[in-house]
Amino acid sequence: MSTFSGKVAAITGAGSGMGEALAISLSQQGCAVAIADVDADKLEQTANQISGVEVSKHLVDVADRVQVEQFAADVVAHHGRVNMIFNNAGVSVTDTVSHMSYENFEWLMDINFWGVVYGSKAFLPYLEQVSEAQIINTASIFGVIAVPTQAAYNASKFAVRGFTYAMREELIETNIGVSCVQPGGVKTNIAQASRYYPNDNTSASKDEFTARFEDMAKLTPAQAAELILRGVLLNKAQILVGRDAKVVATIERVMPVSYLKLLRSLWS
């Protein structure tokens, strides 16, 4: 992507956190934005922070393939084209495998993994019609390492990484770039909004868990968005967001199994 000015970007999970920050930052660089979320009030709050470019609001549940396909069509109908899709929406469940319900596991996978698949496939035909295009899928450092009580989240983010890298290779000779975003600790509301179940692996309350996450999260959403967009301009395959993301990626490379012992104390 040579520049964001004059382009059109679609963003899921744009009602808060990194999605909101991406929408604001892109708009400040002259990029029209189509923002999507399941929360209409939060969408309105994001839209109110954007000026100087065209902005469209879309109420979308990314777990619903029909809604995502309609979202893609609506974006092009409104803006005339689309250059980027940021598949950013995500949720978390904190629970052990033995205790976790199938309902919670499926709820998370539908949003975190299938939402990315739906978004990528729905927008692909439209991205093929422009000279410069990019698919940006949000994974996580938890798509690089596995930690107790995060099996569902780990599974979804490992899956996003594999899906994204395979798609990048399939499209490497085309006009469409593909990037996998791997954020470390970013001060979003994902912990507060998570489905959290104390168990033998952690006796912390939901408030204590959220406070611990916020203490470990060093980057603001705006800082994360800046790093992500820098990577998009360079068409990076892997966009590591934050020093902790870089450290974790290095540890996993050097100690692909034994790193678990080092991390165990953090999640006890």
Q: How far is CA 253 from CA 21, 239, 246, 249, in A?
A: 30, 16, 11, 6
- The residues, any chain, with a CB within 8 Å of residue 2's CB and separated by 6 or more, are 132, 233
**Helices 115-127 and 151-170: crossing angle, nearest 10°?**
20
Closest CA to 154 of 14, 61, 263, 65: 263
Q: How many CA atoms lie within 13 A of 82 on its CB side?
A: 29
Of 118, 153, 196, 259, catalytic: 153
Q: Which two tokens stand for residue 104?
A: 């919670």
User: How would you label 128-146 residue by residue, b for 16+ Cβ within 10 Å and e otherwise?
Assistant: eeeeebbbbbbbbbbbbbb
Per the CB < 8 A criterion, the answer to whether 57 and 43 are in contact is yes
Active site residue 102: no
How many residues are given for the chain?
A: 268
Q: In what order do the strands lie in the sheet with 32-37?
A: 55-59, 32-37, 8-11, 84-87, 133-138, 176-183, 238-241
CA dihedral (31, 118, 239, 153) positive or negative: positive
Instruction: Specify whether the CB–CB gap between 54 and 29 falls below 8 A.
Output: no
Q: Which residues are catalytic?
A: 153
